[in-house]
Structure 1
Amino acid sequence: MEASTSTSLVFPPLWKRFGAYVIDLYFIFMLAYVLIVILPESIADKLRLVIFALALLYEPICNTTLGYTFGAFIFKFRVKDAANPAQKLPFRRALIRFVVKVVLGWISFLTIHSDTMRRAIHDRVANSVVIAK
């Protein structure tokens, strides 16, 4: 069952958020692999650092520009600014959110059920909220 607040925002359950996380990891690895395999070796060698940087910045860039990653798109939710859920998250905060998420891993998701807006630790640190579309 999905929870909502008095402002009628709907927050996705833990299984959807974790599912999107797994899809995004798979997507990033597959994209990097395909780029390295498709590109000629001489070009791939020169672009490995660029491909690695894009893979690392995939989530913050997607959340800032689109408001969602590929996994979030599949599960139909968006990452928004908690203070103003109509707005996307600024890049600096999206980057902070991502770093905390990477450092804490799945542990960050343990706080979702103790928060009325179902925010994980990385959401609280970045003042973000995940809203079902």
Structure 2
Amino acid sequence: MDKNVLNEHTTNFPSLLRRCQANFIDRIITYAIMAVLLYLASEVDNDNWPLKISAILMALSYEPLMVSFLCRTIGQRITGITVVSLTVDQKISLLNSFTRFGLGMILGWISFLAIHSNNERRALNDLVTDTVLVI
């Protein structure tokens, strides 16, 4: 791990509980965005499935976009978590953010199994994308 990147941040790493709290808040926000976009898509054309799929994809883009541009989601901000890249001294790239999110979605709770096996409490999706969550 590149300690220089972490020197700018506190070296406290969030617990599993704190990560779950942030994740819960972000899921509520994602589902609310999805509900609004699907409602609007239905109002435009109820039989237009590509429009509905686009609405779902836009809602699912909430977390990767927030992490890439602001280094945290609303849930992470409320719980005091910031996502940091270990390989570069800057924000996480959009591609890396989508990869991190996608792996987290695919692996689900399995991703969290690695949290207690490393000092930085990094989940599997963090290990793959060279990211770490800090407080």
In structure 1, distance between residues paired with 2:123 and 2:32: 26
- Pick aligned residue for 2:33 from 16, 31, 53: 31
AA aligned opposite 1:35: L
Q: Which amino acid aligns with 1:98?
A: F
Residues 24-70 of structure 1, C-alpha deviations (whole Å, 9 max, x = no match): 11211112112333677126766423321112222111110111112
Q: Tell me which residue corresponds to 2:70.
A: 66
Unpaired runs of 5+ residues, structure 1, are 1-5
Quote the Cα distance in structure 2 between the aligned partners of 1:40 and 1:103: 28
* 1:67–1:88 contact (8 Å) kept in structure 2: yes
Query: TM-score, structure 1 length as denominator?
Result: 0.82
Aligned length: 126
| Greater fraction strand | 1
Q: CA deviation at 1:95?
A: 1.3
The answer to whether 1:81 aligns with 2:123 is no
CA contact (8 A) 1:36 1:44 kept: no
2:33 match: secondary structure: helix
> C-alpha root-mean-square deviation of aligned residues, in Å?
2.2
What amino acid is the match of 2:132? V
Of all paired residues, the percent bearing the same amino acid is: 33
- Structure 1 position 114 matched with structure 2 position 114: no
SS in 1 for 2:84: strand
Consecutive aligned runs of 4 or more in structure 1 exceeding 6 Å deviation: none
Q: Following the alignment from structure 1 to structure 2, what is the Cα–Cα distance between the partners of residues 65 and 43?
A: 32
Q: Give the corresponding residue for 1:53.
A: 57
